[in-house]
A and B are shown apart, each in its own frame.
Chain A
């Protein structure tokens, strides 16, 4: 396959899953109309969820899930040593995701509550980037396969990729939706990183912020606008903390 006379790279990719729902991996097998082309553009050498064969020779490691146990940390470090490029795939890998909600509880009590007198080993939830250096972070709960495809196209053609600077709100307007905030629903669209094509507000539910803050988002200003519109502090705080993606972005 050549593009504009250029022979694209066919990078060796390995996929690994840690603490999470494996929904982002599933997206890799979705968008079936372009799946065969997608699989032709890369060489998948390890992907436990769909392959029995596994190789240790890979250039790009896609990491799904958050890190919440010692063996996960050790495996992640080993992957970092082997891979030229480490990609955090999805909100759990990028920010910890909903798993991060666990950190607000005492781990001993959480263990007793779920497992009684047979507690299991667990640790505080961390994002992949809290443990090893991450070269590229693709947020989303789940990731948007179309965006993943765009990124892979850039990688195989050796072109730099950049996420849109504008927020989800812009993509929502492009889909001609009636503003949910105007209809009285909480939505984080104006401060959240675009690239998902706004499926949540389009489907009738406000943005929950799974993709984290947009590059130039004016978070404090939007929060005060929400307050003015009568949204309660508890509701807004629960929403911002939901995916662990706004830690550090709000005071």
Chain B
């Protein structure tokens, strides 16, 4: 009978440091593990004593890829604690900044981290020669994401214009008009990407799990709202602790979470599974064309879910830019803010899934206690359990060491883990 061994120290083409260990002896699974070895960072401790104006600047630094998501969850928590209602136009600007980040992050993951496996290349750099047209399209789409965030939030990585109370300023109209034109043009470019993805061979695999995300009432959810799951959970944002149930394990520097089962999944596939009918018609059609309908339990389909979200977000960003262009000149983008004691929770759907920030402030507006629960933290246990099921399935199909190593790596990459985040 077969013996299969996979031992990967610091998996490549993921954000941060994680190890995969698999051992199959005589056709029997002995071990399949996903372990986070990234150095722990202690942000919740560092937040203590910080002024409310510093919290989002600090927590942005939890993640270089989803810093806008962290900033928005942080601001929302602070604004809930201080009882601040931000202006309507600021909500639109924040969502636009967020859409830019989603595009940038999803395209980065799809082209630079995930696709090389499907095309048999060690990196996107190697693809520059093999398929320059595809790399060119990828670079242009990713740049559009960066530009949108830059226009709406001043900078893509570690945004500068998103402040407690709103957004520092309205973007220049010429720049809004530019990104609108580029967004419209990108809907054509995306067609090439969809064609390419339609030819990719997505590994056959499914393990039933619980998908947790925000639930949209009218729109596909990105900032705030109720917490829902495919197992029927429905909780208020402020009750996130009942949804996450974080706990420590011996080896991992990331915590694990659980809800109705031993683990659950968050991210694009979870959002889509819970909110399929809130996608734009065009995005739903792309999903159907690529074989993705809810509830889909194949974690490799998270790649496809990210592409579907890119289509949705592009269309929604066009709508937002049009609305922003209609706003009168000199409209107020900031609400007044005053320090006060209180506690607030902020949830946001960031590229890798649902994110929670929770702060308690004293009367001088300084943080007494902080808690952040990260998407990848929530996915780590699910990845671990998926690995075991994947290995058992593919041992039956006769996979050798090399094939198993690639499949396991692709599974972890499909979750688009952000490990630095998960050990915040």
Contact = CB atoms under 8 A, between A and B. Distances in A.
Contacts of B157: 23, 26-27, 30, 142
Interface string B123-153: 1110010000001000110110010000001
B58 A199 contact: no
A227 B10 CA distance: 48
Contacts of A116: 248
B39 A200 contact: no
Q: How large is the interface on B (under 10, 10 to 19, 20 to 34, 35 or more residues)?
A: 35 or more
Contacts, number: 163
Contact of B51 (A30, A68, A205, A235): A235
A102 B46 contact: yes
A19 B39 contact: yes
Nearest to A204: B168
Nearest to B116: A52
A10 interface: no
B131 to A, nearest CB: 13
B248 A115 contact: yes
A48 interface: yes
Contact of B160 (A27, A49, A117, A203): A203
Interface string B157-170: 11111010000110
Nearest to B104: A30
B142 A32 contact: yes
Contact of B65 (A26, A102, A242): A26
Given A52-B116, A102-B45, A203-B155, A23 B140 contact: no
A73 B295 CA distance: 46
Contacts of B250: 118
B41 A23 contact: no
A98 interface: yes
Interface string B76-100: 0000000000000000000000000
A6 to B, nearest CB: 25
Contacts of B253: 120
Contacts of B160: 199-200, 202-205
A48 B64 contact: no
B67 interface: yes
Contacts of A200: 154-155, 160
A29 B51 CA distance: 33
Interface stretch (A33-41, A148-156, A160-168): A33-41
Interface in A211-251: 234-235, 238, 242
Interface stretch (B11-19, B228-236, B279-287, B314-322): B11-19
Given A32-B139, A202-B154, A24 B45 contact: no
7 contacts: A22-B64, A23-B158, A52-B122, A98-B46, A99-B41, A101-B58, A205-B160
Given A102-B41, A111-B42, 10 more contacts: A21-B421, A23-B157, A39-B128, A48-B13, A97-B61, A113-B44, A203-B169, A204-B154, A208-B57, A235-B51
